[in-house]
């Protein structure tokens, strides 16, 4: 296992290129994400935002270029990279037959657990009182908040989020913004796409517009 200090590790992209359906979405893309920073990906639909996030997760390989974590290619690191990273995509990924409490318990069992009590994680996303309700009975916004609560019960420094504000009302957006802001204030990193204006008071945000 490669030893990684997730308090000081950085994510570096060098010369990334992505081609889909014989069309180049982006090329020669370089950036570095340090602890406490946010990478905000912007651009019109089809510009490659989700594809880039999937490349950062290691789900998809870039057509050219490389991504390193703490100086080592993420392909070489494999599970040693993924234990520091969490991904929430367009789909919430919740198990609908389980309760919110059971969903968090499963996320903790499958990941690198931290010491945040499951009840506290639910309270932080305003799902107290819904601990034992089947997840399929929650609203779309509540299910989205539950998906993001999974981040709170595992010890991951890099959160990769595809449209995290989908289905959220004004209060839900405020709750999630506070959650993300707290993560970066504690040295965490975010790579995020959003059609919503992201208000993160204490974060250092770098923007990449893939349509430009």
- The per-residue pLDDT for 112 is 85
Of 146, 45, 31, nearest in space to 88 by CA: 146
- Tell me how far apart the alpha carbons of residues 68 and 72 are, in angstroms, rounded to a whole number: 5
165 pLDDT above the threshold of 70: yes
Summarised one tens digit per residue, pLDDT across range 86-107 is 999 989 999 999 999 999 999 9
- Residue 56 in domain: no
Contact yes or no for 38/190 (Cβ under 8 A): yes
In a domain, 147, yes or no: yes
Q: Count of domains in the chain?
A: 1
Q: Does 58 map to a domain?
A: no
pLDDT number for residue 2: 42
**Digit-coded pLDDT (tens) for 93-148:** 999 999 999 999 999 998 888 999 999 999 999 999 999 999 999 999 999 999 99
Structural domain includes residue 27: no
User: Tell me, what CATH number does 132's domain have?
Assistant: 3.40.50.300
- In a domain? residue 20: no
Q: What is the pLDDT of residues 11-60, one digit of tens each?
A: 999 999 999 999 999 999 999 999 999 999 999 999 999 999 999 999 99
């Amino acid at each position: 296992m490669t030893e990684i200090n997730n308090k000081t590790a950085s994510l570096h992209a060098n010369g990334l290129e992505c081609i889909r359906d014989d069309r180049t979405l982006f090329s020669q893309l370089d950036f570095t994400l340090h602890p406490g920073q946010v990478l905000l990906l912007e651009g019109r639909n089809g510009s490659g935002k989700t594809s880039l996030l999937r490349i950062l997760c290691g789900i998809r390989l870039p057509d050219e270029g490389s991504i390193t974590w703490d100086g080592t290619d993420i392909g070489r690191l494999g599970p040693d990279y993924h234990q520091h990273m969490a991904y929430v995509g367009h789909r919430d990924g919740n198990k609908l037959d389980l309760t919110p409490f059971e969903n968090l318990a499963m996320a903790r069992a499958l990941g690198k657990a931290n010491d945040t009590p499951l009840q506290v994680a639910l309270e932080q996303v305003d799902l107290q009182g819904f601990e034992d309700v089947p997840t399929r009975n929650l609203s779309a916004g509540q299910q989205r908040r539950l998906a993001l609560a999974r981040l709170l019960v595992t010890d991951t420094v890099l959160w990769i989020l595809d449209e995290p504000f989908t289905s959220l009302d004004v209060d839900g957006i405020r709750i999630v913004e506070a959650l993300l802001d707290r993560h970066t204030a504690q040295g965490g990193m975010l790579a995020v796409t959003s059609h919503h204006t992201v208000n993160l008071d204490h974060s250092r945000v770098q923007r990449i517009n893939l349509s430009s």
